[in-house]
Structures are given as structure tokens and as C-alpha cells.
Amino acid sequence: MQISTGGGHMLSRKHGLCLCLCLLLIGTAAWAQRITGSLSGLVTDPQGLPIAKAKVTVANASINFRQELTTGNDGAFLLTDLRPATYQVTVEAEGFKTLRTNVTVYVNSVASLSAQLELGETREVVVVESGVVTVDTTQHTVQGVVTGSQIDQLPLNGRNFLDLAQLQPGVQTVDGGTFDPTKNQMVGVSIGGRSGRVTRIQIDGVDITDETVGTTVANVSNESIQEFAVAQSSLDVSTDVTSSGAVNIITRSGSNEIHGSGFFFWRDESFAADQRLAKSGPKPPFDREQGGGRAGGPFIKNRWFWHVEFEKTNIDSQTIVNIPEFPQFSGAFGVPVDENMGGVRTDYQFTTRWKGFYRYIHNDNFGVTGFGGRDLAAFSNRNNTNIHVAGVDFGGSRWTHQFRFSYLNFNNFIFPANDAAGTPNTLDPGGRPVLVRIVGVLQDAGPDLLAPQKTFQDNKQTKYDGGVIFGNHALRFGAEWNRIDQFVFAAFFGLAPRVLSRRNTATRAFANTNPFSPQGDLDPLNYPVQQIVLGNGLGFFSEKPALGFPFGGTTNDRLAFYLHDIWRVKDTFTLNFGLRYTYHTALSNHDLPRAPLVGLFDQRLVGRPRRDTDDFGPTAGFAWNVLGNNKLVVRGGAGIYYETNIFNNILFDRVINIPPGIGFDVSVNTSGFPFVLDPVTGNVLFDFSTDCIGLPGNNCFNGSIGQAIPFAVQAQQLYQQASAAATANFPSGDPLFNATLDGTDLINPDYHTPYGAHMNIGFQWEIKTGLVLSTDYVRNRGVHFNLIHDWNRIGAADTLNIPLAQAAIAATLNDFGCPDIDCVIALGGTISDFADRGLGAGAGVDGFAFSGRNPNFRNMGVISPQGLSLFQALQVRLTGDVGAFEQFGIRRLFTNITYQLGRFESTGADQDFLSTAAFNDRPTQFFGPANLDRTHMVSVSFVADLPWNFTISMNNTFRSALANSLFLPATTGGADEIFFSDWNGDGITQDPIFGSNRGSFSRDIKANDINDVISRWNSTFAGTLSPAARALVQAGLFTEAQLQALGAVLTSVQPAPAGQVNNDSFINTDLRISHRIRLTERWTVEPMVEVFNLFNVANYAVFSSTLDGNPGNANGTTASTRPTRVGQGTGSFAPGVQRAFQFGVRVNF
């Protein structure tokens, strides 16, 4: 887990329900998240008239399957809940020749067969060629399938199967470590521009999603996977809770023949381009070995089958740190990774109608990670996951029943790892533990703030899916119960305090006075102290027991029911409609009363948070087989899809509403709040403005980082000792909030489950046999997502407390020995001197003048269900068998081409986590391109069979640039910051630069425009009084000239340099060439060579959103100063890395 960081009209639930209930009259539901597929067909005579009572036999000898059924009066037939496989379909009718063809059924899909019989004797057999890919005449869901052959045949850098989800339009995969440290060595699947947290991951019908922070709890070996489906819009009602999308994995099983495969891949730095920006000396060492295999067959032919898989990855790599401002820290550092994946499956055929299976999946991995680029604080991430799935299926051509039972055990550990990486344990010459950050330049150096940490999750899931066919209706229904037990221990900042500064003209000037060392601004310890963060050394996030631990537990029982009817109105038009209901027991801390003093602040926050029990999700749509020949289908639909609230979003609320002594807490200290408070009494344990003896004014915020380190360590010791004393008395005492009066991350009692309203309309067209073009417009309107803003409005200009302001002025005059403000100015005083004595943003109980709505409380950052989002896109996919091009030596070409023109806009940087509103008084106004929004996304992949058993395959990816916002730089980050960067007076500092919105840069504001925006700011706003400063003038406390002289004016922004660049696009081409050598009839060996990033395109990371003028920002980056290349992620995740060759071999039998 991690610590939270900081437009449009809301679609009400009633309106959304009314819309969908209306659509029920014309709708259809899809087959989506069941682990099977279906076969739909129409049997006609040579004139196209339906043939009733034709006999249809569907069989697969390798898995001992055979099912007979007859067509209805309309000549149609439907066979549901088929295991994904290729089936031989035989159609017989009196007076007609027998038709025989092969049809491939994929997971979540409905294969379509149009069988036109010829006149003749039934003993005459006509064999008809069938395409592997067909249009879907039943579903409206926008989804696609990635097959096992694509997983085996396409180049895959790192061999994470989820990377191939990108074969679907608009889908991206992301390094899981980018959104949570526990997800290092794992991958997230981003659908619709979202972060990838809440995409639901299922395997063999059960859920394997991480409920604490999102994405999967395990990497699954490619050798285990038969195929997987990616659903993106208008999901089926059987899909588990998600408003984003879902991945449904089907694992391999044995058959009547023994088959298997083994592989080995290897690469090292000798066959790779140099990833470093500054290339001096030999390339950093790198090697990666990946090996494994699979095998399956029968224990008892036609009865009992087995399948096993194993895969191992070893990486010895180095991560590049490049900090040109502090070149002593640049270099290459070790990042070893080891991973094991394996699995076993057994299937048993009890009778022709009853079958069962058991599947086991194991994954363990270890990696040193968490740093690189500008970050020097390393940690190790260790995961261990075991998944057990058992299933029983029974039924016939009319009734089907599926039961699934699963147990999932996931354990994650995070430990400090600077020793293993070779990064510094501390920058303090005295060896004291401290974490140093220079914002945007030196991200962190010292003990990582995330360690130590433990995150465990156990799922116990029971699931039933049933179906019955009657007349022209196919009724589907199901239920599930998933008991999710979670445990978290995370002692953030527990190993060392963090001391922070910024790098700008003023702080560099301070550093060049050499307050700590003679290295000037090349030594981060010379920079002025602007913030000190202390951890209390504790790490539980609830008072509840779980998984064998006395505290730190959360248990959510998720219950769900669904029902929908598939109604074939006529042979060319299908209507169905569905409804899903989901109930959660623990997504809002509804069982926990608010701390008593919360009600004194605002009665709306009193009581227990609401548990939303109204999560009814209707779905609707249609599928129209336009020509009646299964070649062209128009489809459309809509639905309401509820979202989970990951546990990470509710844990901090729980800590502040229970007594201190077990829960994590942090003391964030600035010049505006220099006090370290006792968590029980609220008394001051340490005052950084008076207790730093020997520093100027005995104030740590007047000194340098190096000078303040001893005091920060001393304060943390006092804070942790007081917290440990509270532990001995737990659970006695008042809630933590009563002592701190700080409501950061307090859940709004008026909680509502977030949801998305999906809509799609489009068509599928079978251009030729086996080649299908799909085009869809998709839309997802999200509401009720978490958004934090300060209800107390600390620092807002209209909350000036004049008596406190007068007291702060008097204290400043006294300390300067001056009779008036002009005297302070003459002595070189600044607004910071007044702010440090109370004339700034802070709580009234701490003596600060801009003290918010209620001066008796501190920050009240309430998590409210106000967040909005909107995703719209045109998606195109051409997939299938193109055919042969003998003139070019191509015997067969299978291709997959996708394009998306889209936009994802949101009020939050990551709406599925905890996003802070940019505007306190208008929380939803800051709305625009967010997260992984890209305007254009193109993917082209193909597999081509060449002469002499050669095969060439390729993945090509182009994505236009990500966007970033444009926030004003911080000047001090202290109590005085409201005078420098709060131009709208709402108390939030570092406002977006005037004229910009969320995600403006690289969208409506390009590199060529950025200086126009900056110039407009500098000429109109910079150097003028902020609303807070104007409030002082209006109160008669200062003149405008005095505030100008004290520097209490809005900051200027450094213009972008000549040659400022936009955010970079992402371009990558991966190539594989292989040669299949047949050793015997059953044995083949296939050596291969792969090239990743064939054209060696340099792909760079998205810019920071702060306009501080440094490289890596929208006003400080030229083509030659881009700071960070993308590509080398955590674990084996490495798309877009500099060109690298890999060698491999696969043996099949």
C-alpha cells in the first residue's frame, strides 16, 4: 500500500437506472465473465429457408465431449457453457447432404455458424472451411480474446501474458510498481485510460484481484494459459465488481494425448543498446534467463486428465540513477529479481454430463526495486501467492450448472534494501538515519519511507453459474460469495525522518552560503529545511484481528446475484436484458463511529459512514444480424457497473477514529506547523521553531538540512516513544482525532458506491472467412469516485482571524526589536518572518491567522464521493487470417490491428485511489485528461508462416503522448505559501497556472504554447498580491507597498527554454524470427531470435506536473535534457526498453 497524495455534471443514480430500465425493452446481455463460450447457429436450405428439427452434433474427441441437439422451427440452435476449444460440428437433415465443419469456441464469446445444406443424401458429407475468428451474432459486449497460440508465437519482452492484453484497442499495460510498491514485479491492465488498479482479474472463473491496492495478486505462467478474454465496455452481468473492465483467464488442461512444450530464453548487455543517458565506461551488466515448460495428458483415457507447468526467471540487472544537479549520486545500481511460477490441473469426467477439475497456481518473486531515475531509496519486494480452484460442471443441452470453490493466499513483504542495491543508507556524515528529498530533483536518499510493510490477503470464494434454454429464451443466473480477509502493517517513515527542500533560485542561493558543507548547491544537505516528516513507528490500520494477527485486519464479505434473459426475437435479432446486485460488508468503515469531537466541527460528519446497499446494476443492449448470414452484425448496449473501494482508501480513516497505540500516524511539520504532538494528550513533544538549539532563532526552518538532521532524529525518537507508551494502554483512551484535531482522509458519512454508466454502439463485419473488422463507439461516465478536499479551508483568504494576525505581527515586531512594519522591512525581514510567527496558513489552535472555517481544528481533508470521469473512444480492430501471399513467400498471415481515438477525463489523477481536489471550493472544476489518457493508440501485430518452416512475428505499438497538469512551483511550502501560489484564495497552494486545466500540457497547451501561458501569468498575476495578502490590506494590517516589500506576492514562473519539448509518445517494435525443425513425427525444436525495440526508439517518461523549471518539467526540458527513459520496469516488465536481442528455443512434443 501507499500513502495518499494529493468538470462536468453528475449523472444521478436514479437517472442512470431509468435510462437502463428503458433500454431493457430493447436490450441484450452478454456472456462475458463465465469461463466458457457458446455456439450459436442457423441451419437453412439452398433457398435460405430455415430447416426445423435438423440434428446437430458437437464433438471434441481429445476431451471426450459429444453433445447432440436439434434445431427449432426457425432453424436455430444454441449450445451454451462450452469449454473453450475447437469442435467438430456435424449437421444432418433428411433430404440434405451432411455438413461437417470445425468451429473454435473462445472464452466469453459466442461462435456463430451459418450452415446452408445442399440437397442430396445424408450419407454424402460436405466439409466446409470455417474461420478461426467469426462475428458474434449474440453479444453487444466490446471484448476480445488472446489465444494460446498468440501467447506462444508473438515476441513478449519479459513473458508476462498480461502484456498481450494490449492486442485489444485502447488497452495498455503498466508496471504495477508505478501505482503501488506492493505491485512491483507485477503488471496492471489499464482499460479506458484508468490506472489499471481496478481491472478485475479472474482465473478459471474465480477472482484473483488484489483488494488492497488493485491489479492481480499473482503472475501466472504463460505455460498455464490456454487463452484469456479482455472485456472493455457493457460488461456482462456475471462480471465481478468493476466499472473499468475485466480479464478472464482460462488455464490449460490435459487431453487424451500426451503433449508438452519446454522453452529457454536468454539475453545480456552484450546484445543490447546502452540505456544510460550519460555513457561513460562499460555498459552496466545485465542478464536475464527464463526457462520452463508444460505437459499434459491422460491418467485414464476419456476419463481423467492432468496438466503441469513451471517457469523460472532470473534477472541480474542494474537501474540507472541520473541526477545531473547532484552528479555524485548518478550511476548504476543493482536490482536482482528472481521469480518462480507453476501450476497443476487435473480434470475428471464422471459421466457424459458430470465433470470436475482442480487447479493450483503458485507464484513467488523477489526483487530489489523502488528506485532509479532520480530516486536512491531502495526496498526489496517479496510476493508469495498460492491459489486453489475446484469446480464441478453438469448439465445437458438445456440445463447447465457450474460450481466454483477457491482459496487464495497472498503475502507481500517490503524491506529496506539499500545495502543490496548499493545505494546510500544515509547522507548524514554522522551516520544518523535520515531520508533526504529535494522535490523533483533528488526524490529520496536514505532508508525508504515505505519499509517495513506487510500486506496479506485471503479469499474464500464460492460461485454458482446456471442456465436453461426454453423456446427462444436462454435464461442465465448465478450467485457468489467471496469472503476477503486482509491484513496490513505499514510503518511509513518508521526507519527515519524525512527532511525536505526544493531547488529554486532562492534555495540555491541559500545553499551557496555553505551552511553545512563547502560544496554549495551541489550538496543537498546545504539546502534550507522546508518540511520534516516523522513516523510513529507503528503500522496497524485497524483494531480488528485477521489472519492470525491481533490488529490490522479488514474483512469484506462480497455477495452477488445476477439474472438475465437472452431472447432470440427472430433469427436475425436477439434481445436480452439483465440485472446484477452486489452487496459488500466493509467498503466504507460503516461499523466505526466518528470520533466525538468530529461533530463539533461539522454535524454532517457525525455518526457512521453509510453502507451503500443499493448496488443494482441493470444492463441492456441488442445484436442485429443484418444480412442473416452471420457476416455483418450491428450491436449496442448500456449498463450500470459498480466499482469496489480498495481497502487502501479506507484504512487511514480507521486509524484516526480509534485510540492511538496501534495505528500508523505521521507528523508533517513545516514552518506553518512546527509542532510534534503527543498522540494521547495532544501536548507538544517537540517544537521545530524553538527547540533546534544553536540554529538561527533556534528554528530548524531557519537552518539547512544537514544542520537539522540531529533534531529531526531526536524528535522522531520522542514521537515514537510516546506512541509506544500509547500501545501499552490500547484500546483505552479517546480516538486519535481527539488529540490531533486533524481529519485528513476522513470518510464522508454520506458514502456512495462509485459506478460507471457504460454505453457502446458499433458493428462487426466478416470481410472474408476468418477475418473480422470490429468498430465501436464506447462511453463510460463515472460518478461517486473518491475526492479529497479540506472542509476546514485552512489558509483560505476569507478566513483571516484578525486578533491572531495582530498577535503574529506583534510577535514579529518584538523579535526584530522594531516599533513598526517598516522597521522590519528595513532590517531585511520578509513575509516568511511574519508567517513563521502566525501570519500564515494554519490552525487557530496553533496560533495561525488564516485558520479556516473553525480555528479550533486543523486540516479536515474529507474523502467525499464527488469524483467524476468520462471516457469516450472510437475503437477499431481487424483480426484474423489474412491468407497467403505466395508471391512474397508468405504461406499464411494472421494479423491483429487495432486503433483507438479516445479521451479519458477525470477530476482525479488516479480516481480509484485517493485524489485531492485542486480547488477547495470547486472540487470538480479541475477536470481533464488524466492518468493514462492517450489520444491515439495503434497496435499492429502479425504472425507469418514462411517457406522452410520459418516464422516471423511482430508487435508494433504507437501511442501518442500522455498529458500532465501545470501547477505553480512552491516557494517555501510553509505557512507563507498562501502568499506565493494560492491565486484563487481557497487555501490550497501550488494552484494550477491560470488558463490551464487537468492534463492541459500536451493537449490544449503544447510546448510551443507554454511560454504564452507563462508570459500571461507573469505579466498578469506574478508580482501581485494574492487573495490572502489582499485580505491583510483590507483588514488595515498592511499596506500594499509593505507587502510588496516583504515579498508577499504571487510567484513568477520560469519561462521554458528554447527547444522545450512536449511529452513523448511511445513507439515500440518487437520482432521474432524462428525456425521449426521436425525431429520426429511428434517432436519439434524451434530456435529463435527476438529483437525488442527493433528501431531503438528512445521513449521518455511523462513530465512532472510542477512548473519549477527543472529538467523533466514542462518549462525546463529540451530534447537533450530529458531526464528519464521508460522501458526498464520492475521485475521482467520492460516494454520500450532500448534495443535488445534475446535468444531462445522451444521444444514441442
Which tens digit of pLDDT belongs to each residue from 515-546?
A: 999 999 999 999 999 999 999 999 999 999 99
Q: Is the pLDDT of residue 289 over 60?
A: yes
Contacts of 1091 (CB under 8 A, 6+ apart): 155, 1070, 1071, 1072, 1139, 1140, 1141, 1142
* pLDDT cut 90: percent of the chain above it: 72
Q: Is the pLDDT of residue 937 over 90?
A: yes
Kindly state the DSSP code that residue 528 receives in the 8-state scheme. B
Q: Is the peptide bond before 452 cis (omega within 30 degrees of 0)?
A: yes
Indicate the pairing of strand 936-945 with strand 632-642.
Answer: unpaired
Q: Is the pLDDT of residue 908 over 90?
A: yes
Q: Is the pLDDT of residue 331 over 90?
A: no
Model pLDDT, residue 1130: 59
Q: Tell me what the pLDDT averaged over the chain comes to.
A: 91
Model pLDDT, residue 134: 83
Question: Of the ranges 70-79, 852-861, 950-959, which one carries the lowest mean pLDDT score?
Answer: 70-79
* Average pLDDT value for residue range 994-1011: 96
List the domains of the chain with CATH numbers.
28-132 (2.60.40.10)
DSSP string, 155-184: --TT--GGGGGGGSTT-EEEEGGGT-GGGT
d(CA 1112, CA 325): 12
Q: Is the pLDDT of residue 454 over 50?
A: yes
Among all chains, which residue has been given the C-alpha cell 436514479? 14
Q: How far is CA 275 from CA 282, 283, 440, 1098, 1135, in A?
A: 12, 8, 21, 9, 13
- Count CB neighbours of 553 within 10 A: 20
Model pLDDT, residue 2: 67
Polymer length in residues for the chain:
1149
Model pLDDT, residue 646: 94
- Count CB neighbours of 48 within 10 A: 12
Model pLDDT, residue 31: 39
* Average pLDDT value for residue range 783-798: 96
d(CA 285, CA 272): 10
d(CA 816, CA 822): 11
pLDDT in tens, 160-196: 888 889 999 999 998 888 888 899 889 999 999 999 9
DSSP string, 543-599: SS-BTTBSS-EEEEEEEEEEEEEEEEEETTEEEEEEEEEEEESSSS-TTSPPPTTHH
Q: Is the pLDDT of residue 202 over 50?
A: yes
Q: Is the pLDDT of residue 22 over 80?
A: no
CA angle 574, 576, 578 (to 5 degrees): 165
Cβ–Cβ under 8 Å, residues 589 and 650: yes
Q: Is the pLDDT of residue 23 over 50?
A: no
Residue type at 1119 in one-letter notation: A
- Count CB neighbours of 932 within 10 A: 24
Helix H or strand E segment including 757: strand 755-768
Model pLDDT, residue 34: 62
d(CA 286, CA 319): 10
Contacts of 500 (CB under 8 A, 6+ apart): 436, 437, 438, 439, 529, 530, 531, 532, 533, 973
d(CA 552, CA 536): 16
Cell (9 digits) for 463: 460461485
Cell (9 digits) for 360: 493450483
Cβ–Cβ under 8 Å, residues 905 and 976: no
Model pLDDT, residue 107: 79
Model pLDDT, residue 66: 87
- Count CB neighbours of 817 within 10 A: 9
CA angle 1107, 1108, 1112 (to 5 degrees): 80
d(CA 414, CA 381): 5
Does this model's pTM top 0.85?
Answer: yes
Question: Of the ranges 640-654, 689-703, 753-767, 1113-1127, which one carries the lowest mean pLDDT score?
Answer: 1113-1127
DSSP string, 390-448: EEEEEE-SSEEEEEEEEEEEEEEEEEE-HHHHT--S---TT----EEEEETTEEEESS-
Question: Pick the residue with more confidence: 283 or 345?
Answer: 345
d(CA 811, CA 817): 10
Model pLDDT, residue 987: 96
d(CA 608, CA 895): 55
CA nearest neighbour of 21 among 32, 33, 13: 13
- Count CB neighbours of 327 within 10 A: 11
CA nearest neighbour of 214 among 244, 245, 183: 183
Q: Is 446 left (phi over 0), alpha (psi -120 to 50) or beta?
A: left
Sign of CA dihedral 30, 32, 33, 34: positive
Cβ–Cβ under 8 Å, residues 366 and 337: yes
d(CA 877, CA 768): 15
Q: Is the pLDDT of residue 1128 over 80?
A: no
Across the beta sheet with 37-44, what order do the strands follow? Answer: 76-82, 37-44, 110-116
Indicate the pairing of strand 55-60 with strand 85-92.
Answer: antiparallel
Model pLDDT, residue 241: 93
Q: Is the pLDDT of residue 1035 over 50?
A: yes
Indicate the pairing of strand 531-535 with strand 666-669.
Answer: antiparallel
* Average pLDDT value for residue range 757-767: 96
Instruction: Name the burial class of residue 282, with classes exposed (0-12), middle (13-18) and buried (19+) by CB atoms within 10 angstroms of its CB.
Output: exposed
Model pLDDT, residue 1132: 61
Kindly state the DSSP code that residue 887 receives in the 8-state scheme. G
Model pLDDT, residue 1129: 59
Model pLDDT, residue 131: 62
